[in-house]
Amino acid sequence: MKSETGFDPALYARFPTPGERPEGELEELERIWCAPRGWQLLTAVNNNYIGFFYVAAAFLFFLLAGILALVMRVQLALPLQGVLPQDTYNQFFTMHGTVMMFLFAVPMVEAIGVLLLPQMLAARDLPFPRLSAYAFWAYFVGGLCFFTSLFFGLAPDGGWFMYPPYTSITYSPGINADFWLLGIGFIEISAIAGAIEIVVGVLRTRAPGMTLDKMPIYAWAMLVFGVMIIIAFPSVILGTLLLELERAFNWPFFDPTRGGDALLWQHLFWFFGHPEVYIIFLPASGLVSMMVATMTRTPLVGHYLIVLAFLATGFISFGVWAHHMFTTGMPNLSIGFFSAASMAVSVPAGIQVFSWIATFAVGKPRYNVPTLFLLGGIVTFVIGGLTGVMVAMVPFDWQAHDSYFIVAHLHHVLIGGMVFPMFAAFYYWTPMTSSRALSEQLGKWAFWLMFTGMQVTFWPMHLVGLMGMPRRVYTYLPGREWEVINMISTVGAFTLAAGVLAFLIDVARNFRFTTDSDAGNVYGGGTLEWLPTGLYSTRSIPVVKSREPLWDDPKLAEDVEAGRYFLPGSATGLRETIITSPLRAEPQYLQIMPGPSAWPFLGAVFTAGFFILLTVQAYIPSFACGILAVICVLRWLWDTDRLVKEPDVDVGAGIRLPTYVTGPDSHGWWAMMILLIVVGMIFVMGVFSFFYLYGVQPRFWVAPADLWSLAMVLPAYGAASGLAWLARYMLAREATELWTPGVLFLCGAIALATGIGADLWSWIASGLRPDASGQGATVYALLGLEAMLAAIGLLMAGYISARNSRGMIVRPHNNSLDLCVLWVIYTAGQGALTAVLTRAVGG
Amino acid sequence: MHTVRALLPLLLTAGCKPPPDEAQHMPQADPVRGKQAIVRAGCGACHVVPGLRWPQGQSGPSLEGFADQGLIAGRLPNRPDLLVAYVRNAPATLPGTTMPAMPLTDGEARDVAAYLYASGKR
Amino acid sequence: MTSGSIFAVFDPAGPYAGSITTLAWVLIAMFVAVLAVVIAALWIALRGSGRLKARLGGTRAIWIGGIGFPVVVLTALLVYGLTLTRHLTAPMPQDAMRVRITGEMWWWRVAYLDPSGRPFMLDANELHIPAGRPVLLELESNDVIHSFWVPRLSGKLDMVPGRRNTLPIQADGPGVFAGQCAEYCGGPHALMGFVVIAHEPAAFDRMMAARRAPRPVPDERGRQLFRSTGCAACHRIAGTEANGMAGPDLTHVGSRRSLGAGILPNNRGTLAGWIGDSQAIKPGNRMPPYKTLSAADLQALAAYLEARK
C-alpha cells in the first residue's frame, strides 16, 4: 500500500486491540467532554449542542418566513384585497425571500453539516469548535434582530435581490435597505466561517483509513458545498459593501449618470445568487444519497458518478449566473453561452436522479416516512428541473421571466431539492440525537399534506404566470381570470402549512434531545454516525476500511464502544481529535481542542450589535460593540494555540503522534489559506467591478495616479512581505533574541501600512475623488479593502507582540506567528496588484 | 321577480329588520348590474363604495350606509328619482356640486342607485 | 380595464409572440415526456418486475437516463432556442415605425419618433400601433429598472437606466393588448399597467394625422386653472403654455382608455377623483393630492382634461 505521509498503513492491522481498557478511562473522557449546564450552555462549543441549536434556529426562521408566505397568499387569494397594504406587502415578500435564502436554507444545510459531519467522520468534533459557536450565535442573534425590523416597518422592501437603483439612497431613503445590507453582511460572514470549518473538517478530521474513496457521499457534497461558498459568497459580500458605500458616501458604483452601471450589481449578485441554489441543493442531495442507500439496504449505485456530478455542478454553476439577466438586453453571444451552460448544469442533476432511481431498483425499498419524503422530493425536484430547462431557453424566458412561472419553478426546485430532503433527514437522523424516533403515523400525515399542498400551491402558478401575472405584485386587478387560480394556490399553501404543523406536533410529542442515550440505528444505516456515541462522539475512533463500515463489519460498533480503536481515552487529559491527511486520511497529529468558552458567544453578540447598531445609525455604541467584538475574538484565540507538555503521545496500539504541528500540515494553516482565498475572491470581484465599469462607461475615466508613485508603493509592500517572512525565519534560529520575530513582524505590518498609505496619498494627489465617477468609486473601494487588510495586519502585530512578551511564541515554529505572516504576505501581494491594476486603464 | 331574487341574499342578511323602505324601492333595477356599472365607471376613484375593495377614493364622501342618509350631497332629499338623476348628471341636478357628470345610461344609473340602497342596509 | 384574451402567452397576437408560443408548446411537450419517463422509471424501480428492475439497477441506466438522454434533448433544444433568439433579435427594416417608451415610477412615457429618431408626439401609458406592421420600441428608464411586457405581442425586456434596449413588436390584427411592468420597481409596482392598441393601418394613419394637426385650445377656465394650480409644472398639453415634463403628457388624455397607468376607467368623474386625491387610489404615486380645489374648479379641470382628445 502506498502512503501519503510516511505513515505505515500496516499499523492499522493492530486494531481492534485485544484486551480490556483500563478502569476510569471512559469516565475521564466523559468528564473532559462534559457539557456545561443551565445558563452555562451558552458557552457550549461542542458540535452536538451547537449543531442542534443551529438546526433548531434555522427551522424557526423557516417557520417565520413560511408565516409571511401564508399572509401573502391571503392577500393574493382575491384581487384588490386589503389584508396587507402595498408597502407592508413589499416588505413581506422581500423578507420571505431573504429569510428563506439567508436565514433558513444556507444555515440549515450548514447546521445539518455541523451536527452530522463529525459523527459521520468519527471525529471528536469539528476542528474549530469555537468558530462554530461564534458563527451560530452571530447568525442567531443577528437574524432575530434582522427579522424584528419587520415589526417596526423598517424591514427592507427592495426584494431579496436588492436591485439598484431602486435600492439606492435616492429611491430608498429609509434605513430599510441598510437593514438588508448590514444584516445580510454578517450572515455572510457567519456562512463563510461555517464553510471554512466544514472544508477543513472534511479534509483533515476523517477517521484513519477513510480515504477520499471511502468517504461517505454526504461528506463529498459538503466539501463541494464549502468550496462553493468560499468562491460564491465573496461576490455578494463585495456587492453589499459597494451598495452600502454608495448609500452612505455617495460613491456611484451603480449610478449610470456618473460612470456606474446598474447591471454591475446584477452580475455581482447573481455570481453568488445562482451558485447559491446549488449550495443549498448539493448538501440535500448528499443527504438523499445517504438515505436512499440505507432505505434500500444497498450501496449507492453510481457513487463515483454522483461525486463527479457534484464536482461538475460546482464548476458549471459558476458559469450560469447571467441567465437571471436574459431580459436585460444582453448581446446574443453571451446569451448563447449562458443558455448552453444553464442547460449543461441539468446533466449532473440528471445523473443524481437516475442514480437514486437505479439504487431503488437494485435494493428493496422500505416505505417509511423518510422514503416518502425522498420520493416526493425527487418528483418535485424533477418538475422544477424541467421548468428550469424551459426557462434556460432564452425566448421562452423572455415570457416567463419575473412572472409567476418563475415562482412556481424556483419553489419546485428548492422545496423538492432541499425542503423535502430536509424533512426526510429529520425523520431519518432524529434517532441519532433524540431518545425517541419520530412517529410514522404523524409523519405520513405530514408528508401527504405537505406534498399535496406543495403541488396544489405551485402548479397553478405556472399557468397564471403565462397568463401574464408578474411576480412581486401586492395585488392585481380583476377581470383577467387570475382570481380562481390564485385562490387555489392559497388553499394549497395552507395545506402545506398543515403538513408542517403535523410535523411540529410530532416533534413536540416525540423529540427528546439527548447526546448519549439516543434511540440508535433504527433504520440500519451503514455509516459511522450510527456508532454508539456520547458527547465525545465515539468512544474510540475506528479504522475505516470501506464506505459502509457498519454493514461490512458487524462487530465494529462493539469494538469501538469497548475502546479497541484509536484514542480510546484522552491522551493528554484535554479535548482532542486526530488530524489526518487530506487524501488517504493517515493519522498526522493530535489536535488539542478548545473547550467551552463564553468568548465566542460574547464576540458574536457584539458582532451582531455592531452591525445592527450601525444600521440604526447609533454610531458610538456600534463602534464600541465592534471593539468589544474584536477583543472577545482575540481573547478566545488567546488560549487556542498552545503546547502541551508531551510532545507526542500514544493514540492507541502504541502508535505515537505529535501534539503540536506547524506549517502546511497544520489545520490552522489550511483554515488561513481558505480564508485568504475568500479575501482573494473579494479582491477579484472588486477588480472585475473596476474593469467592468471601465468597459461600460470609459468616457468617465480620467488619467490614473502617477506611475512614479509606484516606486514608493511597491518597495513598501516588498519590504512588508520580506520582513514578515524574516520574522518566521528568525524564530527558527536559536541564536536570535526571542523578541526579534515580534519586532520584525511589527515592522512588516508598518511597511504594509506605509504601502497602502503611499498609494492612497498618490490617488488623492491625482485629484480623483471617490464620489466623482465609477472609476473613483472602484479605485477607492479597492484601496479601502487593502487598507482594511493592512489594519488587520497591524492588529495582528499587536497580538503577536503580546504573545511574544508572554513567551508564547515558541521556537522553532509557532502557528500564531505563521498564520499572521501568511496574512501579511498575502496583503502585501494584493496591495501591489491593487496599485498596478488601478493604474492600468484610464486617461 | 328578478329584483327580488337579486335582493334575496341582502334581505336574508338583514334578518328580522323591517322590510326596506318603500320610498327606496327601485323597480326594474338590479343591484348586481349596479355594482358592475360602479366598477366600470370608476366611482371608487372618489368614494368608498361598500363592497368595493379598491379603489377607495377620498375626494368624495363615503357611500357606506347610504340608504340611511337623509340627504344626497347634504342638500337634496334622498329620493330614488333624485339619486338616479344625480349619479348621471350631478351638476345639472344640483348646481355647484363637486361631482361631475358620469358616463352612465339612465338604466345604469337606476342600477347604481339600487345597489347603493341595497348595500346600505344593515 | 382591457379586453382581449386571458391566455396571454398561449394566445399570441403577432409573429414575435407567436414563435415563442410555438417554442412554449414544444417545451411543454418535452416537460410532459421527460416527467413521464422519470416517473415510469421510478415506478419500475419501486414496483416493477424483477427483470425490468434488473435492467434499471446499474450504472448503465445512469449513463443512458442521466447523461445520454439529457444531452441529446438539451442539444436539440439549445439549437432551436438559439436560432429563435437570433431570429427574434434580427435587425428591423430602417423605415419601421419607432417609439421610445421610458419607464417612470410608476407610469410609462411614450414618444413617437420620426425617421431621424426625434420625438414628434408625446403620450403616456398607451401605445397606438398599426396592425400588420412591425414597430420597434426603444426602451429606457429615467429612474429605476422597469420591464416592458405585453405578453400577447412579445417577450419582456428590461428598461435599465443609462441603457437603451430595443424590442420589436407586431400585432396581426386590430385589438387591445394589456401589459404590466414586470420588474419590481417599488411602491405601486403592481399598479403599473400599459395598453397597446392596434388599429387598421388606414385608421391608424387617420388617427395620427388628426393628432398631428394643430388644434387650438380655447383659453377657457380649465386651461387657466391648469396653469394657476400648478398642474402645468409637471404636465404638458401641446398647444398650451403647459409644458411640464415630470408627469405624463396630457395632450391626449381624454382619448385614453384608462387612467393612472392602466388601472382606472377614464371619464370626467375619475379624472376629478384622481386630481382630488390620487394617493387614495394608487398609494405612493408621485402626484400630490389637491384636496383644496373648490367644487367648481375641480369640475372645470376635469371637463378640460376630458376634452383633450
**What does the DSSP assignment read for A547-604?**
SSHHHH-TTHHHHHHTT-SB-SS-SSSS-EEEEE-TTT--EEEEEEPP---HHHHHHH
Query: For A231-235, A581-585, A658-662, C5-9, which range has the lowest pLDDT when averaged over its residues?
Result: C5-9
User: What range does the domain containing A774 cover?
Assistant: 677-838
Three-state secondary structure call for residue A354: helix
Same domain flag for C241 and C290: yes
Q: Does domain B2-120 have CATH number 1.10.760.10?
A: yes
> Taking CA atoms, what residue in C is nearest to B60?
C273
Considering only the beta carbons, identify the residue of C269, C289, C291 that sits closest to B100.
Answer: C269
Give the C-alpha distances (Å, rounded to integers) separating A391 from A324, A408, A704, C16: 10, 12, 43, 17
d(C-alpha A49, C-alpha A41), whole Å: 9
pLDDT score recorded for residue A184: 85
Same domain flag for C101 and C200: yes
CB C191 within 8 A of CB C280: no
* Residue C2, domain member (yes or no): no
Whether A86 has a pLDDT exceeding 80, the answer reads yes
CB A542 within 8 A of CB A123: no
* Residue C170, domain member (yes or no): yes
* Residue C70, domain member (yes or no): yes
Q: Could you report the per-residue pLDDT of A116-127, keeping only the tens digit for each?
A: 999 999 999 999
A-contacting residues of C 30-59, CB under 8 Å?
Answer: 30-31, 34-35, 38-39, 41-42, 44-46, 48, 53-54, 56-59
Q: CA-based diameter of chain A, in Å?
A: 89
List the CATH number of the domain containing A415: 1.20.210.10
> What cell was used for A400?
416567463
A348 Cβ contact partners less than 8 Å away, ≥ 6 residues apart: A308, A309, A310, A312, A313, A316
d(C-alpha C202, C-alpha C285), whole Å: 37
Considering only the beta carbons, identify the residue of B45, B55, B56 that sits closest to C269.
Answer: B45
Total structural domains within chain C: 3
pLDDT score recorded for residue A842: 81
Three-state secondary structure call for residue C136: strand
* Residue A134, domain member (yes or no): yes
Whether C95 has a pLDDT exceeding 60, the answer reads yes
DSSP type of residue C92: P
Report the share of chain A in percent with pLDDT over 70. Answer: 100
Size of interface A-B (CB pairs under 8 A): 9
CB atoms within 10 A of CB A623: 13
Sorting pLDDT into bands at 50, 70 and 90, what band is B118? confident
Whether B16 has a pLDDT exceeding 60, the answer reads no
d(C-alpha B79, C-alpha B37), whole Å: 20
Distance of CA A614 to the CA centre of its chain: 24
Contacts of C10 in chain A (CB under 8 A): 466-467
**Contact with chain C for residue A344, Cβ under 8 A:** yes
Give the C-alpha distances (Å, rounded to integers) separating A334 from A134, A326, A339, A393, C279: 42, 9, 8, 13, 43
d(C-alpha A517, C-alpha A436), whole Å: 10
Considering only the beta carbons, identify the residue of A171, A386, A466 that sits closest to C31.
Answer: A386
Give residue B66's identity as a one-letter amino acid code.
F
* Residue C172, domain member (yes or no): yes
Same domain flag for C180 and C117: yes
> What cell was used for A16?
481492534
Residue A730 — φ and ψ, nearest 5°? -70, -30
Among A463, A478, A509, the domain-final residue is A509
* Residue C3, domain member (yes or no): no
pLDDT score recorded for residue A183: 84
| Mean of per-residue pLDDT scores for chain B | 79
Among A486, A509, A532, the domain-final residue is A509
| Mean of per-residue pLDDT scores for chain C | 93
DSSP type of residue C103: E
* Residue C1, domain member (yes or no): no
d(C-alpha A548, C-alpha A299), whole Å: 8
DSSP type of residue C242: -
Among A473, A492, A509, the domain-final residue is A509
* Residue C24, domain member (yes or no): yes
pLDDT score recorded for residue A718: 97
Pairing type for strands C146-148 and C157-159 reads antiparallel
Q: Half-sphere exposure of residue A7, counting CA atoms within 13 Å on the CB side?
A: 22
Same domain flag for C228 and C296: yes
Q: Could you report the per-residue pLDDT of B49-75, keeping only the tens digit for each?
A: 998 888 888 888 999 888 888 888 888
List the CATH number of the domain containing C232: 2.60.40.420
User: Cα-atom radius of gyration of chain A, to the nearest Å?
Assistant: 27
In chain B, where the domains are located: 2-120
Distance of CA B88 to the CA centre of its chain: 11
Q: What is the reported pTM? A: 0.94
pLDDT score recorded for residue A3: 84
Same domain flag for C146 and C208: yes
Same domain flag for C173 and C231: no
Q: Calculate the CA dihedral of residues C216, C221, C225, C227 and round it to 10 degrees.
A: 30
Distance of CA A591 to the CA centre of its chain: 23
**Contact with chain C for residue A83, Cβ under 8 A:** no
* Residue A553, domain member (yes or no): no
pLDDT score recorded for residue B17: 40
Comparing C-alpha atoms, which of A219, A215, A352 is closest to residue A292?
A352
Instruction: For Cα atoms A148, A153, A154, give the angle at the middle one, nearest 5 degrees.
Output: 70
**Contact with chain A for residue C185, Cβ under 8 A:** yes
Pairing type for strands C135-141 and C107-113 reads unpaired
* Residue A244, domain member (yes or no): yes
Among C149, C181, C212, the domain-final residue is C212
Q: Could you report the per-residue pLDDT of A402-417, keeping only the tens digit for each?
A: 999 999 999 999 999 9
Residue labelled with grid coordinates 375626494: B59
Sorting pLDDT into bands at 50, 70 and 90, what band is A354? very high
pLDDT score recorded for residue A114: 95
Contacts of A387 in chain C (CB under 8 A): 31
Whether B3 has a pLDDT exceeding 80, the answer reads no
Sorting pLDDT into bands at 50, 70 and 90, what band is C3? very low
- Highest-confidence segment of A180-194, A449-463, B37-51: A449-463
d(C-alpha A379, C-alpha A109), whole Å: 21
User: What range does the domain containing C141 cover?
Assistant: 97-212
Give the C-alpha distances (Å, rounded to integers) separating A418 from A105, A106, A379, A414, A459: 8, 10, 12, 5, 18
Whether A156 has a pLDDT exceeding 90, the answer reads yes
CB atoms within 10 A of CB C295: 17
* Residue A80, domain member (yes or no): yes
Same domain flag for C12 and C41: yes
> What cell was used for A318?
459558476
Q: What ipTM was predicted for this assembly?
A: 0.96
Whether B122 has a pLDDT exceeding 70, the answer reads no
DSSP A133-173: HHHHHHHHHHHHHHHHGGGGT-S--STTTT-TTTTSTTT--
Considering only the beta carbons, identify the residue of A375, A382, A468 that sits closest to C35.
Answer: A382
**Contact with chain C for residue A87, Cβ under 8 A:** yes
Size of interface A-C (CB pairs under 8 A): 256
pLDDT score recorded for residue C2: 43
Q: Could you report the per-residue pLDDT of C160-210, keeping only the tens digit for each?
A: 999 999 999 999 999 999 999 999 999 999 999 999 999 999 999 999 999
**Contact with chain A for residue C4, Cβ under 8 A:** no
DSSP element (H, E) containing C139: strand C135-141
Contacts of A80 in chain B (CB under 8 A): 53-54
Sorting pLDDT into bands at 50, 70 and 90, what band is A530? very high
Comparing C-alpha atoms, which of C144, C166, C124 is closest to residue C251?
C124
- Quick one: average pLDDT of A430-437? 93
d(C-alpha C81, C-alpha A326), whole Å: 13
* Chain B residues within 8 angstroms (CB to CB) of chain A: 39, 53-54
Contacts of A347 in chain C (CB under 8 A): 66-67, 70-71, 74
